[in-house]
Homo-oligomer: A and B are copies of this chain.
Amino acid sequence: MSVIYPRVALIGLGLIAGSMSLAMRRRGLAGEVTGYARSDATRETARRIGLVDRVCDSAAEAVADADLVVLCVPVGAMGAVAEEIAPHLKPGCTLSDVGSVKRAVIDAVGPHVPEGVDFIPAHPLAGTEHSGPESGFATLFDNRWCLLVPEGDVRPEALDRLRALWEGMGAHVDEMEADHHDLVLAVTSHAPHLIAYTMVGVADDLRRVTDSEVIKYSAAGFRDFTRIAASDPTMWRDVFLSNKDATLEILGRFTEELFALQRAIRTGDGEHLFDYFTRTRAIRRGIIEAGQDTDAPDFGRAAKGA
């Protein structure tokens, strides 16, 4: 596969940036990858493990002469970063990001984008419970979806090039409008994360059920919630604060449904419960058939002590 961008700059060096660098390296998609992170410790670690080709000590230095600049910082930090690097962006380059919300990113970054720079927000639907410069890996995006959210005037060739990069890194690519993106992700990601956080918080709070019991007996269903409840707190704080309306809408629907099911339980309405659970099984089938999950027992976790 050939080089898609001679020079790529990654601002922020966490799980996503690290994985992008490794995925680009895997197939030689970039000539040189520079990186910048705000903390000394992160830059030090990134240098030590050779996460990118060159770690810079300022964002301006990292983006100088870059053909693609990707903002990989928490959504709440993107506006300030964009303002700082704007004067240093090469004319004709592409500015992108990997944030989990799109309208807020466009509102924060858009005003700083110079003439002649293509601004193409993006969102790769991939992640793990880990954070930081050592958490990335080359296969993170394989068979995952990446959504491109071009806003305003974007040259078709710039869009094609970014699409080619994400496909080269293993992802399927779709384009989507920003507000629709935020609603879809409220359903498939943001609300589920908040609900998982809440369930884990409730379990933690209960005095009558000890932490060790919750942990020991967590295979009963609870532990699947805990994975996403271990997600990076900074990132998720910013996601909820910046996708407020859509998230609150979904949570509102959720509590309506939950109260209806609670009522069915309280009144002993077995039929309502049975019908509801039968319907949800079909969605699960759809996900397996779409190749987006495995129905191996326990998601294929290796059986221990067999």
Contacts and interface: CB of A to CB of B under 8 A. Distances in A.
A195 B276 CA distance: 12
Contact of A229 (B213, B229, B268, B280): B280
B188 A221 contact: yes
Interface in A272-306: 273-274, 276-281, 283-287, 290-295, 297-306
A58 interface: no
A15 to B, nearest CB: 10
Nearest to A147: B217
Given A139-B306, A220-B189, A240-B273, A286 B230 contact: no
Nearest to A277: B233
By DSSP majority rule, is chain A's interface helix, strand, loop, or mixed?
Answer: helix
A231 interface: yes
A286 B183 CA distance: 33
A47 interface: no
A48 interface: no
A286 B145 contact: no
Given A284-B227, A294-B302, A297-B128, A209 B187 contact: yes
A177 interface: no
A300 B302 contact: yes
Interface residues of A, number: 114
A170 interface: yes
B281 A215 contact: no
A77 interface: no
A204 interface: yes
A301 B293 contact: yes
Interface centre among A144, A194, A226 (most CB of B within 10 A): A226
Given A192-B225, A241-B265, A294-B301, 9 more contacts: A142-B303, A195-B258, A197-B280, A200-B283, A218-B287, A224-B225, A233-B274, A236-B273, A300-B302
Interface of A: 76, 125-126, 128-130, 137, 139-140, 142-145, 147, 170, 174, 183-185, 187-189, 191-206, 208-209, 211-231, 233-234, 236-238, 240-241, 244, 247-248, 250-251, 253-255, 257-259, 261-262, 265-266, 268, 270, 273-274, 276-281, 283-287, 290-295, 297-306
